[in-house]
Amino acid sequence: MNTKVDESGTPVKTTWNTVEFDNCESAEKYCDSKEGRGVKNAYTYKGNIFRCYNHQSFLPLHLIGKDKADFDCERFKEIGCSPQEVYEYSLEHNFIAPPGFF
């Protein structure tokens, strides 16, 4: 992400450079060896992107149980799109904000 700011330091333009993949296998190959095939894209927002969302709103969810840890890297687990498959996937992940978060 590249952000251009004005004289006062306020973001006026943000660009995300991405590589998008058709499937997880290509993405993992790209991450492992840069050999996976992906499409490079750039997305630009003109204005202060930080007025559109609170980019730290779910920060506590990323920190639960991670104190005193360096980092956590998990392989992507492909999930299906049926309601049952999404439900089973969501059971394995904590998508609920902790008590007192809001």
Tell me whether residue 64 is in a domain. yes
Tell me whether residue 100 is in a domain. no
pLDDT of 48 above 70? yes
Which pLDDT value is given to residue 45?
92
Tell me whether residue 24 is in a domain. yes
Tell me whether residue 18 is in a domain. yes
Q: Give the Cα separation of 86 and 46 in Å (integer).
A: 35
CB within 8 A of 88, min separation 6: which ones? 79
The closest of 43, 51, 71 to 10, measured between CA atoms, is 51
Tell me whether residue 54 is in a domain. yes
* pLDDT tens figures, 5-24: 999 988 899 999 999 988 88
Which pLDDT value is given to residue 73?
60
Tell me whether residue 30 is in a domain. yes
Q: Per the structure, how many domains does the chain have?
A: 1
Please give the share of the chain, as a percent, with pLDDT higher than 90: 21
The closest of 68, 67, 74 to 92, measured between CA atoms, is 74
Tell me whether residue 50 is in a domain. yes
Q: Give the Cα separation of 12 and 3 in Å (integer).
A: 7
Tell me whether residue 45 is in a domain. yes
> Structural domain of residue 42, as residue ranges?
2-69
Concatenated DSSP letters for 3-51?
EEE-TTS-EEEEEEEEEE-SSHHHHHHHHHHS-S--EEEEEEEES-GGG
Which pLDDT value is given to residue 38?
87
Dihedral (CA of 27, 59, 63, 84) sign: negative
